[in-house]
Amino acid sequence: MTLLNGPRTRRRRLGVAAAAGGLLTALLTAWPATAIPDPGDAPPARTQVSDRTEAQVRAAIADGEIPAQDQIVHSANLTPLANIPKDALPGTNSDLAFQGRYAYAGNYDGFRVFDISDPKSPKTVAQVLCPGSQNDVSVSGDLLFLSTDSSRSDASCNSTTQPATEKSSWEGMKVFDISDKANPRYVAAVETACGSHTHTLVPKRDNVYIYVSSYSPNAAYPDCQPPHDGISVIKVPRKAPEKAAVVGFPVLFPGDGPDGGGNPGAPTNPGVSKTTGCHDLTVLPSEDLAAGACMGDGILFSIKDPEHPKVIDQVQDNVNFAFWHSATFNRNAKKVVFTDELGGGVGATCNAATGPDKGADGIYDIVGRGEHRKLVFRGYYKIPRHQADTENCVAHNGSLIPVAGRDIMVQAWYQGGVSVWEFTDSAHPKEIAYFERGPLTTDKLTVGGSWSAYWYNGYIYSNDIAKGFDVLKLTDRRTDPARRIHLRELNVQTQPDYFD
């Protein structure tokens, strides 16, 4: 290993270790999540940049301001242990879920099961081909759930893309039996309005409830009609998953307009997404709470009655947030971190031109009690390292690191890499560790980087869009107590009470 020198090293202030990496060997074969409906399965375009931008990127690499193409750099307290490249599923890697000694990695072509009993050497247990973006994945008991948010010819794993304007097209939730980890078995499919971009589990003893987030209706789509101002609720009997069915569509944004009562977007609020559904929800079952990232709005709601969630508070940020993307509670439900996916995940927004407050995290304190609780804005957090204008970079999926008395989380930033940061002081968050790779390309804006980065039983696992499955070890006195906490199961959007 060598040390990086130059201006970038001084800005990092953490001590940088670097490892040489190989050139990109696999091309992306599916669009990542964007703020565009029905992203489909077409290969992403590599956007050509100007000669001037290319020269600036190359100069920044030569000066040590950013890592070299595909070079790995990391803070001294965050060490890469393993990388498993993509194999039989060449599509875009997406979300992660965990259960015992297994990790489940979503991919636009299906999902992959890893044995992570030895984090330094994960082993592939199964690869299931079942195309349909985004294929966000979660698990509960013997069941695995997979989101489909691209219009398909049918619900099978042999389906092909088909226009959403055709009534016979299918989008929604797929259910697999994973009692045999090496041979997952497809057991049920439930069609939902506007598909399933993401989903969130509310597990009960006999049933699993699924909150399905989807958005961007269109009068031309028979199964995705406006207004689309709520979420689909699916009930899955554990002993009879083939009977899974939609049991409701609670309206979260009531209103008299054609799109309900959410953020109207432009021209009223230029640069802000109009709210026509939710992108992602995080539930905290121990507190009967949920936080919703819903395009132009952030919401807090009660899930005491899981089939009839009730909104407690609704907030907007029409200055710096463009697309409310995901949410994370702190350990005692006194704060929520919302992410803003400016540019839909395909833009280069971690640069000086964009600034520190856009494409960032918004930290909100939860004040008050019961149904009178309010979300109060306290501050923004964005990674302190500028990325190249050929790197897609914006706040994305992360999880809490369970440390009593502190608020610390790990988070993916696409080609901005993985950031570990503390928000114990909500108004003054700070990064304490990081891992990233240099740009995939220097002459084009190419989509890649970490989609999800989560803490699970002492290690950080990241699903990189292009590079595969990464395992990282964090060694820091501030987070070392978290190693004592071991979970049997983790779906990050179903946030556990780590200290129960």
- pLDDT, tens digit, for every residue of 465-477? 999 999 999 999 9
- CA–CA distance, 30 with 41 (Å, rounded to integer): 5
Q: What is the mean pLDDT of residues 125-140?
A: 97
What gap in Å lies between CA 285 and CA 366, rounded to an integer? 16
Domain map (residue ranges) of the chain: 7-490
State the pairing for strand pair 245-248/280-284. Answer: unpaired
CB 464 within 8 A of CB 93: yes
For residue 49, what is the DSSP state?
Answer: P
- The CATH code of the domain at 7-490 is 2.130.10.10
Phi-psi region of 333 (alpha: psi -120 to 50; beta: other; left: phi over 0): left
pLDDT tens sequence across 394-424: 999 999 999 999 999 999 999 999 999 999 9
Q: What pLDDT is attached to residue 499?
A: 83
Mean pLDDT over 328-336 rounds to 96
Q: 174: closest CA among 143, 139, 147, 202?
A: 147
| pLDDT at 17 (0 to 100) | 39
Percent of the chain with pLDDT over 70: 91
**pLDDT score, position 11:** 38
Nearest Cα to 196, choosing from 171, 216, 177, 221? 171
Instruction: List for the chain the helix, strand, coil content (%; round to 5).
Output: 5, 40, 50
**Dist. CA 265–CA 275, nearest whole Å:** 7
- pTM confidence score: 0.92
